[in-house]
Structure 1
Amino acid sequence: MADQRVDLTEGDLLKGIMRLAWPVVVANLLQTTYNIIDAFWLGKLGKEAFSAPTIAWPVIFTGISFAFGISVAANSLVAQYAGSGDKRSAEIVSAQSVVLSVFVSLLLIVVGLFFARPILALMGAEGEILDLSTTYLQIILSGSPLMFAMFAAVGALRGWGNSKIAMNFTIISVLLNVVLDPLMIFGIGFPRMGVAGAALATVVSRSVASVYGLYVLFSGRTGMKLHITDFKPRWNIMKKVFSVGLPVGFGNSVTSLGFTFIMGVVARFGPVVVSAYGVGNRIISVITMFSGGIAAAVASAVGQSLGADKPDRAVSAVKIGSLVNFILVSIFCVFTFFFGKYLTKFFINDPQVIEMGEIFFRLVSFSVPFFATMQTVLAALDGSGHTVKSTVVNIVRLWGVRVPVVIYMARAFGFAGIFYAMIISNIAALLLALSVVTFSRWQEKII
């Protein structure tokens, strides 16, 4: 497996970025499948069971946000050590990122055991839904140590340049979940567990994938070989990982709150607008999985190039990735522009929702390539380890631009104002990201 590593410090940058990007895209698409599987089977139990993960998700996402931040930090630091040729430091950072992830997960377990129910009640859950969502949340959080360890391992491997192995973790996890979900939910070969079964299937499948991931890292088959002694806490290294990852985790949590607020504005216009907005965002999220894969590859390219003392190559990676993303997403959005109503009809066969969905895609499709390009530009900051800057851009583009513009435009133009606000904020976000990358000193490695 060692020959699967992509060295982004030499050779054709475009080819290298695409080789690293496609497994990330596949993993992202599989993750979406993961969520659909849970929703499908729980829907068979009724609306209360279906609602349990939805109610619990904001709390789960907050924890995952910080785990993802550690993953970004591992990607950046490992990539820079890989670029500099310091494999031993890359291995140690990988191990310490896993250790830090486990520490964070243990804090979440404490929260889950003692505060899950009051937190969910504060969010409005009550009765049977409160019972089910509490059970779901506590089981998911109990499995977070291995789940978060997998996130850290994935980030480290992507930084090292081996996204194929990282993709395999997701494949194992999804395939196991496909098998275990109906068995544990409906009691086929297991006790009938309902919502608890869905949560347990998720924990088991991700834990198995995590154990496999740690085995791969210990085996040396990726080019890195971790040792037990690498997992002894090294506070200076964990502090470095934490300082890079914390802004990302904080930014993701704050961003999630922003989108929750916007959803409240959308809900005021009734179920037709909510449905069209929901379908539109789902389609766009699939499109941005492709651009997100390229952005992740660009982050690794930036990290490796800076580690190799090739800042010009890091800049070139950002330019190439941005151009590819703009063109690729533009092609997708031409399709959504002309066939948006058919995409909406695929999900909801309601004439009013279909008409509203067509309006959504006709307006918003134009701006999505700008958002995709922003993802790539911000990858420069994440890959270089300057995550405070990327976090500030993300918070400002949402709370400083989209939220106030949505409020104003919704009042001035009704439901269409929300869609216009998305156009304005996507373009403004790219301009903001470009200005930060152009005028700040990000081409400096942090190792």
Structure 2
Amino acid sequence: MNERNGTRKKSRYVDLSAQELPRLLLRLAIPSVIGLSINALQQALNAIFVGSLGAQAIAAVSMTMPIIILLGAVGEGIGVGTASFISRHLGAGNELEASRGASTALALAAPIGVIMTIAMLVTLRGIFVALGASPTILPIALDYATILLPGSTLMLLNIVSGFIARAEGNTRFSMWTMLTAFILNALLDPIFIFLLGLGVRGAALATLISQIAAISLYIAYFTKRLGTVLVSISQVSLRVDRIRQLALIGAPATTTSILASLAGMFLYGAAARFGDDFIAAVGIAVRILTIGALPITGFCIGSQAVLGFGWGARDFARVMKVAKFMLFITVALSFAYSVAVMLFVWPFGQVVQR
């Protein structure tokens, strides 16, 4: 009986030491690409629904994006550091240390999310004014952000949980979780925005509920031990050296995302001088770029588990092979999407505006 259970449990995961690298990487990366592409489609779908409310509505929602990116940057930094920590220790055969890293990361993400949410809500009006929100956009942006921001802690926990599942090689669960959240958001958007007449507040509420659904799935994933690592309060360890490892590895990802968020803030601030329509146009352009960037990011995130596992196992030749294959795929994807944007950006922009 135990042997059968062990075989069934083992078959649930991808063997990170498998020798067929291209097949292994694609098996891990494709669910991550699909998952983050779904995330991009969710943003595009929200833009289409909100865009039907007018240029001021989409401009107000777009001005909230840099704030969300800033919050997500923290979650991404914690997640990248955690995923590296987990995959390296799994490669070294130390599941206990991997479990401690995962549990500690989630324990840190929750209070960080609460503190950042409170800080943002207190200064929200000043942030939008600094971004150049006009008197017509400001109340709409405040309506949207004040409903969405309380879910920031859930967003951080979802991001970190997704990184933990992918670091174990279970990228499919993360994909299905994102797909579930997307479908729920797509169903609730028209109901809240149009049927109940909530406008942009309805869009924010739909997103918030989808975040609740996603974290519920991750809670079930961890409590039912569907993953390799054990996530529980008993595994939390606030040792300085462990936290330092999580923070230092994730710091570059956090810094990059924060700079992107600041660049977005400056961009919206510059567009605000020309009117609401310009802010809406910038918001559409940013979403188009995001749609192309997320699948590439998804491929890299999905492949990270193999890199970390190889590094932990001290198989550096394997690490180099993985890095070269990733570079080839990401360059090809970037080129293909650039061509697609140049060919189809005008009709896509027209659809979003409607």
Q: Would you call these one fold, judging by a TM-score over 0.5?
A: yes
* Structure-2 separation of matches of 1:306 and 1:312: 10
CA contact (8 A) 1:219 1:225 kept: no
- 166, 184, 187: which one pairs with 2:192? 184
1:229 aligns with 2:234: yes
Instruction: Tell me what 1:398 maps to.
Output: none
1:39-118 equivalences under 5 Å are: 39-118=47-126
Contact 1:279 1:344 (8 Å CA) reproduced? no
Partner of 1:312: 317
Contact 2:132 2:272 in 1 (8 A): no
**Normalised by the size of structure 2, how large is the TM-score?**
0.84
Judge conservation of contact 1:9–1:308 (CA < 8 Å) in 2: no
Bigger CA radius of gyration: 1
One-letter code aligned to 1:159: A
Q: Of 35, 39, 45, which residue of structure 1 is paired with 2:43?
A: 35
Structure 1 residue 276, shift from structure 2 partner: 10
The match for 1:256 is 261
Report the CA distance shift for 1:328/1:124 in structure 2 as closer, same or farther (over 3 A): closer
8 Å Cα contact 1:112-1:138 kept in structure 2 = no
Aligned partner (choices 217, 225, 234) of residue 220 of structure 1: 225
Counterpart contact for 2:40–2:294, Cα < 8 Å: no
- Match for residue 243 of structure 1? 248
CA distance in 2, matches of 1:87, 1:99: 18
Answering whether residue 158 of structure 2 is matched by residue 157 of structure 1, we say no
RMSD over aligned Cα, in angstroms?
3.2
Letter in 2 for 1:251: T
Tell me how many residue pairs correspond in the alignment. Answer: 342
1:197 to 197, 202, 212: 202
* Unmatched runs of 5 consecutive residues or more in structure 2: 1-8
Q: 1:18 to 1:214 in 2, by over 3 A?
A: same
Shift of 1:250: 2.1
Structure-1 separation of matches of 2:37 and 2:112 = 26
Seen in structure 2, the aligned counterparts of structure 1 residues 250 and 296 have a Cα distance that, compared at 3 Å, is same
Structure 1, unaligned stretches of length 5 or more? 350-447
Aligned mates of 1:227, 1:275 — CA distance in 2? 44
CA contact (8 A) 2:66 2:265 kept: no
1:306: Cα distance to partner? 0.7
- In the alignment, the residues of structure 2 paired with residue 180 and residue 259 of structure 1 have an alpha-carbon distance, to the nearest angstrom, of 28
Distance of 1:279 and 1:57 partners within structure 2: 11
Partner of 1:413: none
CA contact (8 A) 1:79 1:300 kept: yes
Superposition pairs of residues 255-294 of structure 1, within 5 angstroms: 255-258=260-263, 285-294=290-299
Aligned to 2:328: 323
> Per-residue displacement from partner, 1:396-417 (whole Å, max 9, x unpaired)?
xxxxxxxxxxxxxxxxxxxxxx
Offset at residue 87 of structure 1 (A)? 1.5
Q: Following TM superposition, by how much is the alpha carbon of 1:26 offset from its aligned partner in structure 2, in angstroms?
A: 0.5
Report SS of the residue matched to 2:137: helix
Secondary structure of residue in 2 paired with 1:127:
coil
Give 2:347's aligned residue: 346
Asked if 2 retains the 8 angstrom alpha-carbon contact of 1:42 and 1:49, the reply is yes
Distance (Å, rounded) in 1 between the aligned partners of 2:324 and 2:86: 22
> Aligned partners of 2:172 and 2:312: how far apart in 1?
22
Map of 2:154 onto structure 1: 146
Letter in 1 for 2:327: S
* 8 Å CA contact 2:91, 2:311 repeated in 1: yes
Compute the TM-score of the two structures, normalised by the length of structure 1.
0.68
| Residue identity (%) | 24
> For residues 326 and 49 of structure 1, what CA distance do their matches in structure 2 show?
35
SS of 1:143's equivalent?
helix
CA apart distance, 1:305: 0.5
Q: 2 CA distance for matches of 1:34 and 1:157?
A: 21
Q: 1 or 2 for the larger relative contact order (CA 8 Å, sep ≥6)?
A: 2
